[in-house]
Structure 1
């Protein structure tokens, strides 16, 4: 039995559905578990990171491999095994009205998934946590005036109709922000040779979806332009200023994780270093010391 788009469990219920065995396998964004999976959102805590999904997922896998705590917490606390990592393509900003400078966004209500809403703090935006299915109606009726979203879903949910102004900011592709897990009891009930196949397919899944993320980014942008949306790129100097305003954000999130008994400094330091080693140049120098 397969279920999609929350037909069996909503985006905020999938972790629990896998935990209790309602689902054998579930795929979900860690962003919808800001308390239980706080540190699994590490890519959200370091904005303006890798711009390609393939790079983001590959680096997230390295972080998981170097820090077994991430797997262990899901297995020990929530009874599930991580089969594979996914992520999201590069985040940008869509709005119902055009804007010329960052100051134009001050006091404007913008929606997002949750962990990425602090990215908007520099602009003085009023952040609103929301879910994708609610966005079209909410922007059409003025509940809020924009969405912090990657282009593939921005187009798929037809956000360009109520909010046709899409600004390429490049907050980064969040590798590892989406995961596929399997109930540990369900996995252990399988014959050893089948378990091996399931785990192998999980790793193959990572490679496949990572490539698809970049394809989706290109398709989403092309589709938005073809649909008549206004797509523009934020000037690099403004982007750099935006990044500098968030220079302390990774450190603050690392300290918050530590206060929850999680290895925040180690994991965020590893992530930042691995991104740098990949050849990507951060627009700002982050430190979690």
Structure 2
């Protein structure tokens, strides 16, 4: 009987050990879904999500842990469109998502603050540095993702410097009066000075819309304008310098992050911040490459005279104050966030062409 008991105990122990080993092996293998409504290539921030974030997380996990990590990558709206990514990460349809907060004007109103203060830093690296200062000084911005949308902010991305492309050539600002211009929403007020007609749209729609005359221009960065081949229906590209816009975020589903082993979670968080740091140079390089490619592809590039640019900026001097007041009325720290951005950009060496007064 003693032999039988010992034998039974050994069998049970072996079975438990095998079960635990199988569970551990299963727990150490992770497959994440990452996506964006914008495609890789034409949207540079998506390219860095794939080429930097995904690659680096996999590399570090393999070198520093016992975990096996794989990613299912779905860009260009394969899982969620540009206005659906926030919700997709919230529900867990995506584990990681990259998106422009411009497509969430209600949910993430204040996160669009760089749009509310146009003609800011021209280099993306400078703009991201300034916006990071604002996020660090205002934890409310990061906490909103967690408290209201069940996700963790991993890093900031950006669009490079915005300019204006049009179907027809224009010589004076008055020539734009009544011209229909597409944009992402928060940047459409920039057109008020010119008397253009703003049209809410998204990048994937722009080409055909300009081709068919739905509208006649687009507010877009060189890389995006070239990547989506907007120069074909709208070959005139005027350098206005509305500023680089760090209004892109990459977030992770909060429940997913909390369920991960500590070592893997730390790697993801660290790579997320490294992804943010990499975006400035990547977007500055993208700006230069985009302009060169536009010229090579036949776009006609003009530059707005500096005095007209200053007048344009002055015409929008009320936009920051009104936007800050709107955010304040919603219980958000609007005035503080916008003032912190003005100060951070100035501290970084940027000269604002107009003195924005928020009170």
TM-score bracket, normalised by the shorter chain, equals: over 0.9
Query: d(CA) in 2 for partners of 1:135 and 1:192?
Result: 43
Equivalent position of 1:233 in the other structure: 303
Equivalent position of 1:268 in the other structure: 338
Residue 193 of structure 1: CA displacement?
1.2
Query: d(CA) in 2 for partners of 1:140 and 1:197?
Result: 45
Residue 116 of structure 1: CA displacement?
0.3
Equivalent position of 2:142 in the other structure: 71
Picking from 227, 237, 242, the partner of 1:171 is: 242
Query: d(CA) in 2 for partners of 1:17 and 1:226?
Result: 38
Equivalent position of 2:313 in the other structure: 243
1:196 is aligned to 2:266: yes
Q: Provide Cα deviations, 1:190-241, integer angstroms capped at 9, x if missing partner.
A: 0111111111001100111111000010011000111111101100000000
1:254 is aligned to 2:341: no
Query: d(CA) in 1 for partners of 2:335 and 2:327?
Result: 8
Picking from 206, 212, 217, the partner of 1:135 is: 206
Higher radius of gyration, 1 or 2: 2
Query: d(CA) in 1 for partners of 2:288 and 2:296?
Result: 12
Q: In structure 2, the residue corresponding to 1:173 is in which secondary structure?
A: strand
Residue 111 of structure 1: CA displacement?
0.2
Equivalent position of 2:187 in the other structure: 116
Unpaired segments of 5 or more residues in structure 1?
A: none
Structure 2 length normalisation: TM-score? 0.80
Residue 59 of structure 1: CA displacement?
1.1
Picking from 142, 145, 149, the partner of 2:216 is: 145
Equivalent position of 1:12 in the other structure: 83
Segments ≥4 residues shifted beyond 3 Å: none
Which has the bigger relative contact order, CA under 8 A and spacing at least 6? 1
Structure 1 length normalisation: TM-score? 0.99
Query: d(CA) in 2 for partners of 1:276 and 1:67?
Result: 18
Query: d(CA) in 2 for partners of 1:200 and 1:133?
Result: 32
Query: d(CA) in 2 for partners of 1:200 and 1:157?
Result: 32
